[in-house]
Amino acid sequence: MEKFLFNVEDREAKIEACIKQGIVMKIIKEIPEKNIIKVMPENLDDLWHLSNIIEKNNAVSAMTERRIEEKGDKLRADRGAKRRVYLGVKVEKVNFHEDTNRLRVSGKIIHGPDDVPLGAYHTIDIEPLTEVSIQKNWKRWDLQRLKEAEDSAKKPKVVVVIMDDNDANIFLIREYGVKEVAHIKSGLSKKLDYKRQEQEKISYYNEILEVLSQYDGKILVAGPGFGKNNFQKYLSEKHKDISQRTVFESTNHTGRLGLSEVLKSGIIDRIYGEARLSKETQLVNKLLEEISKKGLAVYGIEDVKNALNYSAIETLLITDEFLRKNRKKIEDIINSVDGIGGKTVIISTEHDAGKQLKGLGGIGAILRFPIE
Give per-residue pLDDT as tens, 26-53.
788 899 999 999 999 888 888 988 998 9
Specify the higher pLDDT residue, 9 or 152: 152
Q: For residue 37, give the H/E element and its range.
A: strand 36-40
Lowest-pLDDT choice from 85-89, 183-187, 195-199, 334-338: 195-199
Which residue in 295, 338, 347 sits closest to 320, CA to CA?
A: 347
How many residues in the chain?
372
The SS3 call for residue 360 is coil
User: Which amino acid belongs to residue 293?
Assistant: K
Per-residue pLDDT tens over the stretch 294-319: 889 999 999 999 999 999 999 999 99
Q: What are phi and psi of 97, to 5 degrees?
A: -115, 100
CB 134 within 8 A of CB 59: yes
DSSP labels for 45-56?
HHHHHHHHH--T
Number of H helices, E strands in the chain: 13, 16
> How many CB atoms neighbour CB 300 within 10 A?
14
Tell me what pLDDT residue 308 has: 94
| Axis-axis angle for helices 44-53, 140-152 (nearest 10) | 180
pTM confidence score: 0.68
For residues 271-281, give the mean pLDDT.
77
Residue 75 banded pLDDT, cuts 50, 70, 90 = low
Is beta strand 219-223 parallel, antiparallel or unpaired with respect to 246-250?
Answer: parallel
The strand order across the sheet containing 219-223 reads 178-185, 167-173, 158-163, 219-223, 246-250
Which residue in 359, 348, 306 sits closest to 179, CA to CA?
A: 348
Residue 5 banded pLDDT, cuts 50, 70, 90 = very low
Tell me what pLDDT residue 138 has: 92
Domain residue limits, the chain:
11-145, 158-272, 292-367
Residue 156 banded pLDDT, cuts 50, 70, 90 = low
Tell me what pLDDT residue 194 has: 78
Residue 74 banded pLDDT, cuts 50, 70, 90 = low
Tell me what pLDDT residue 20 has: 38
307 CB burial (10 A radius; 0-12, 13-18, 19+): buried
The strand order across the sheet containing 297-299 reads 297-299, 363-367, 313-319, 343-347
DSSP labels for 93-146?
EEEEETTTTEEEEEEEEEE--TTS-TT-EEEEEE-TT--EEEES---HHHHHHH
Which residue in 305, 35, 320 sits closest to 177, CA to CA?
A: 320
Our CA angle for 152, 269, 96, nearest 5°, is 40
Give the fold, CATH level 3, of 292-367: 60s Ribosomal Protein L30; Chain: A; (3.30.1330)
Residue 273 banded pLDDT, cuts 50, 70, 90 = low
Give the fold, CATH level 3, of 11-145: SH3 type barrels. (2.30.30)
The SS3 call for residue 91 is strand
Give the fold, CATH level 3, of 158-272: Nucleotidyltransferase; domain 5 (3.30.420)
